[in-house]
Amino acid sequence: MKIKKNKKRLLNGLWIIALCAAWFGIGWVANTRLGNTDLKLINAAYQLITSESLFNDQSSRELAYGAIRGMLSSINDPYAELIEPAAAKDLIDTFAGKTGVIGLYAENQGGQVVVLIVFPGGPAEIAGLQAGDVILSIDGRPLDKDSDSSETGLLIRGAPSTPVLLEIQRDGKVLDYQITRQEREFVASRMLSDGIGYITLNAFNAVASQQMKHSLQDLLEQKPAALVWDLRNNEGGDMQAAQEILSFFIEDGLLFTAELTQDRSVQFFPKGDPLAAYLPMVVLIDHSSYSAAETAAAAIAETGRGRTVGSNSYGKGLIQATLHLGEDTLLQMTIAKWLSTGGEWYHNRGVAPQIQVIDDPATEVDEVLQKAVQTLLASP
């Protein structure tokens, strides 16, 4: 049986918003985490800098941002970041599914922002970008040794059908690429041969649960004998969205646990909407299955609900919260790690699929999907 490769939907920057923590104000944090003596130290330094420094030419807001960034840099959290108002709006729009992307993922490696993934069929691939390209600037804004995947993703994203200009370094040459952003599609579904349904999800964001529910309902109306859930190239996202979507497939039992500071933990159980709880299923994963996608795959495998096919997932076992500081400014930081149904922490090692298969990009067949179908057809 020959199955043509499914061109993956557009993804961009692996931005994670974990809503297992509530939004809260900076005043609460200051009053509960910082003693009066510490606050007096910060205020004294601020007053001296603004009144006496010969070299200070920053506004009070810039100094405040600098102080926050200084605190964040001291806690050794690779995901901690101050998000200023313009970027904060883009982030909120992104989480709400209201943004355009070009289909790549880049990370800071050794002080350079390097393209790690160019997603098949997306504007970046069509324009000619390649994995290994170094991004020097975005719309004329230079990237530096401190630029991370979050900043890069926010700068690249924007309104659908608008252009973004990337300055790229490749093999010692500097190249310019103007690429038009496309609207993202988060869920797609179709019937495969042999009566098997196929559904893919690209992010666990604010619209993921409803889109998955509607697509799954449409698919179930066609009465599939089994289901393939494709989480390859999934950028992760909200753990509550993961809980809601897993509830479509798992009726009861522990799904995963968020382990916070001060010996606190939150357990996530199905929410009681088992649309396809008894349909045989396989979940597809690979190295670009990230965070909440890894959580979902582990839950399916460890509860015995279905099987996982593909290659090792990315290995991000941490949960970030994006918190409101006021004045339309956000603070992102790591607040927890997630543990699987069986108590495993997959950080830096990834979720290993139960059936290892590598897709060969040189062929027209999607070997991973092919193996998933064969596995379902061979099941009793």
Summarised one tens digit per residue, pLDDT across range 202-224 is 899 888 999 999 999 999 999 99
Higher pLDDT, 247 or 25: 247
Whether the pLDDT of residue 264 is over 80: the answer is yes
Specify the domain boundaries for CATH 2.30.42.10 within the chain: 100-183
**Which of the residue ranges 117-121, 126-130, 368-372 would you say has the lowest mean pLDDT?**
117-121
Whether the pLDDT of residue 22 is over 90: the answer is no
Tell which CATH architecture fits domain 187-378: Alpha-Beta Complex (3.90)
The correct answer on CATH 1.20.120.1200 for the domain covering 100-183 is no
Average pLDDT over residues 127-131: 95
Please state the separation of Cα 226 from the chain's center in Å: 27
Q: What is the mean pLDDT of the chain?
A: 87
**Which of the residue ranges 127-131, 336-340, 376-380 would you say has the lowest mean pLDDT?**
376-380
Q: What is the pLDDT of residue 34?
A: 56
Of 99, 107, 33, the C-alpha closest to 335 is 33
Whether the pLDDT of residue 98 is over 90: the answer is no
Backbone angles phi, psi at 257, to 5 degrees: -130, 140
SS3 content of the chain, % helix, strand, coil (to 5): 30, 30, 45
Q: What is the pLDDT of residue 160?
A: 87
Q: What is the pLDDT of residue 18?
A: 33
- Compute the distance between CA of residue 227 and CA of residue 248 in angstroms, rounded to an integer: 12
Specify the domain boundaries for CATH 3.90.226.10 within the chain: 187-378
**Which of the residue ranges 29-43, 71-85, 121-135, 313-327 would you say has the lowest mean pLDDT?**
29-43
Average pLDDT over residues 134-160: 87
- Reported as a single tens digit per residue, the pLDDT across 329-365 is 999 999 999 999 999 999 999 999 999 999 997 888 9
By the 10 Å C-beta count (0-12 exposed, 13-18 middle, 19+ buried), 209 is classed as buried
- Reported as a single tens digit per residue, the pLDDT across 29-76 is 444 455 678 889 999 999 999 999 999 999 999 999 999 999 999 999
pTM exceeds 0.85: no
- Reported as a single tens digit per residue, the pLDDT across 149-194 is 777 887 898 888 999 999 999 999 999 999 999 887 789 999 998 8
Q: What is the pLDDT of residue 222?
A: 97
Q: What is the pLDDT of residue 357?
A: 97
**At how many degrees (to 10) do helices 208-220 and 239-246 cross?**
20
